[in-house]
Amino acid sequence: MQNLDLEKITEQVRSLAVDAGTFLRNERKTFDRGRVEEKGAHDYVSYVDKESEKRIVKRLHEILPEAGFIAEEGSGSLTTEEYCWVVDPLDGTTNFIHDNAPYCVSIALRNREELLVGVVYEVCRDECFWAWKGSKAYMNGKEIHVSAIENIDTAFIQLGFPYNAERFRNFVSHVISHLYGNVGGLRVQGSAAAELCYIAAGRFEARLEGLLGPWDVAAGALILMQAGGKLTDFSGGNEFYSGKEVLATNGKIHDNLLSVVKKYIYLCN
Residue 122 has what pLDDT?
98
- Strands 142-144 and 127-132, how do they pair? unpaired
Domains 6-144 and 152-268 belong to one CATH topology: no
Of 138, 128, 145, 115, nearest to 221 by C-alpha is 115
Using CA atoms, how far residue 113 sits from 81, 83, 232, 241, 246, in Å, is 12, 10, 16, 11, 19
Residue 10 has what pLDDT?
98
Of 249, 257, 66, 42, nearest to 166 by C-alpha is 42
**For the chain, what percentages of helix, strand and coil (3-state, to nearest 5) are there?**
40, 25, 35
Decide: residue 207, CB within 10 A, 0-12 exposed, 13-18 middle, 19+ buried. Answer: buried
- Please give the CATH number for the structural domain made up of 152-268: 3.40.190.80
Q: pLDDT at residue 269 above 70?
A: no
Residue 71 has what pLDDT?
86
Do the beta carbons of residue 119 and residue 17 sit within 8 Å? Answer: yes
Percentage of residues in the chain with pLDDT exceeding 90? 81
Q: For the chain, state the CA radius of gyration.
A: 18
Chain segment 37-72, per-residue pLDDT in tens: 775 554 566 788 889 999 999 999 999 999 999 987
Chain segment 159-210, per-residue pLDDT in tens: 999 888 888 999 999 999 999 999 999 999 999 999 999 999 999 999 999 9
Q: What is the DSSP letter of 242?
A: G
**Helix or strand holding residue 1 (H, E):** none
Chain segment 63-89, per-residue pLDDT in tens: 999 999 998 766 655 556 899 999 999
pTM value is 0.94
Confidence tier at 241 by pLDDT (50, 70, 90): very high
Of 102, 15, 94, nearest to 56 by C-alpha is 15
Give the start-to-end residue ranges of the domains of the chain. 6-144, 152-268
Torsion of CA 122, 120, 98, 76, to 10 degrees: 160
Q: What is the DSSP letter of 98?
A: T
Q: Which residues contact 186 (CB under 8 A, 6 or more apart)?
A: 157, 158, 159, 176, 179, 180
Q: What is the DSSP letter of 262?
A: H
Residue 216 has what pLDDT?
96
Residue 81 has what pLDDT?
84
Confidence tier at 31 by pLDDT (50, 70, 90): confident
Using CA atoms, how far residue 242 sits from 88, 155, 196, in Å, is 14, 26, 15
Taking the C-alpha atoms of residue 24 and residue 90, their distance in angstroms, rounded to an integer, is 8
Do the beta carbons of residue 165 and residue 43 sit within 8 Å? Answer: no
Of 198, 233, 229, 238, nearest to 212 by C-alpha is 233
Taking the C-alpha atoms of residue 6 and residue 9, their distance in angstroms, rounded to an integer, is 5
Chain segment 106-132, per-residue pLDDT in tens: 999 999 999 999 999 999 999 999 999
What's the CATH architecture for 6-144? 2-Layer Sandwich (3.30)
